[in-house]
């Protein structure tokens, strides 16, 4: 896959020349997504993380390795991607974590923020804030299931990050400047896949194919296309949650900018598996929330709830086995 990356700019240039109208429409749509949704949703949290980092709050637990790692993972989960990539790369570069473990944790902590789930998906697109609860239960339940062993792991030879603390005024100025630069990089990573997606949409009019490709390419466009699809609310919410967990090619490009040593092939496989599992978990736990599900009124529905929980546990076990198998195959490919 890395050998194909140098040809990506040529592909974009060819699209601009052969399909200028569609490419321009896609670029405008990507710019609107960045300006209307991503910038106001992520910029405040980015500034908070940079400010906490500049004042040394993220590394306040430097004498307690687990506390330091939990604090950084918590900041990453709450602030949204690509903060997780930037913070984990800093830990790997300083020797706090090995490259292998940081890249294993990366798909789990480098995810969309809760603001994206509640404000964009639940409130803006689905017009029901209550939908955030089954989405969040599946989303963070699965992530914490896989992330907790990393956080509780006993560590030897842990190197604490020693960072120079800054005054509040200097840290705030630096946080705003760096956050705006991060937002510009994110904007470019959104603009690029949106342009190619718009060109594809002009060539193929199949709605299901476009919706799937949109979800795999740019998460905002994917969930927007799903919101307009004629699907049951339970299935639609689960698919949107799965797309959000995967993040799309756009988020992968943002991650590469923040984590230069990233093995993008392995990262995309792990994110795809994570998205599929979280989508299935959301579908399984959806009937547990009667305020968003019109069924759930009889003893038979109680049995359905039990089966949903059983299917969630079974899918989790299968996902662990499948993820381990994929990781083994990848490691054998590297060694070979």
Tens-digit pLDDT profile for residues 201-253: 777 666 777 788 888 888 888 888 888 888 888 899 999 999 999 988 888 88
What residues in the chain have per-residue pLDDT under 50?
61, 160-161, 294-335
Confidence (pLDDT) at 302: 42
CA geometry: angle 305, 311, 315, nearest 5 deg: 150
Confidence (pLDDT) at 317: 46
- Residue range of the domain that includes 287: 2-335
Give the chain's domain count. 1
Confidence (pLDDT) at 295: 40
- Rounded-to-integer distance, Cα 243 and Cα 247, Å: 6
Confidence (pLDDT) at 319: 47
Q: Cβ atoms within 10 A of the Cβ of 282, count?
A: 29
What pTM, to 2 d.p., does this model score? 0.73
Query: What is the end-to-end Cα distance of the chain in Å, rounded?
Result: 17
């Amino acid at each position: 896959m890395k050998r194909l990356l140098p040809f990506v700019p040529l592909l974009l240039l060819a699209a601009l020349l052969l399909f200028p109208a569609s490419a321009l429409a896609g670029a405008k749509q990507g710019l609107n997504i960045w300006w209307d949704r991503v910038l106001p949703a992520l910029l405040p949290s980015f500034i908070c993380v940079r400010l906490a980092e500049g004042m040394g709050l993220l590394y306040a637990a430097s004498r307690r390795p687990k506390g330091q790692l939990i604090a950084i993972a918590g900041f990453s989960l709450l602030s949204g991607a690509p903060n997780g990539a930037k913070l984990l790369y800093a830990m790997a570069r300083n020797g706090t974590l090995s490259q292998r473990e940081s890249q294993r944790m990366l798909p789990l902590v480098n995810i969309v923020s809760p603001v994206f789930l509640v404000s964009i998906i639940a409130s803006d697109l689905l017009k029901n804030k209550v939908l955030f609860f089954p989405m969040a239960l599946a989303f963070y339940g699965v992530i914490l299931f896989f992330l907790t062993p990393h956080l509780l792991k006993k560590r030897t030879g842990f190197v604490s990050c020693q960072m120079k603390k800054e005054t509040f005024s200097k840290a705030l100025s630096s946080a705003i400047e760096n956050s705006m630069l991060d937002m510009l990089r994110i904007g470019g990573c959104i603009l690029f896949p949106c342009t190619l997606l718009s060109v594809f949409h002009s060539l193929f009019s199949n709605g299901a194919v476009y919706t799937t490709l949109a979800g795999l390419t740019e998460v905002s466009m994917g969930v927007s296309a799903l919101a307009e699809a004629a699907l049951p609310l339970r299935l639609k919410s689960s698919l949107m949650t799965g797309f959000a967990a995967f993040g799309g090619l756009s988020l992968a490009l943002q991650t590469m900018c923040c984590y230069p040593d990233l093995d993008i092939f392995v990262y995309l496989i792990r994110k795809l598996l994570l998205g599929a599992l979280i989508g299935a978990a959301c579908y399984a736990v959806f009937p547990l929330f009667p305020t968003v599900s019109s069924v759930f009124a009889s003893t038979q529905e109680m049995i359905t709830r039990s089966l949903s929980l059983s299917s969630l546990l079974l899918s989790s076990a299968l996902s662990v086995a499948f993820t381990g198998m994929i990781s083994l195959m990848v490691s054998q490919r590297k060694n070979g």
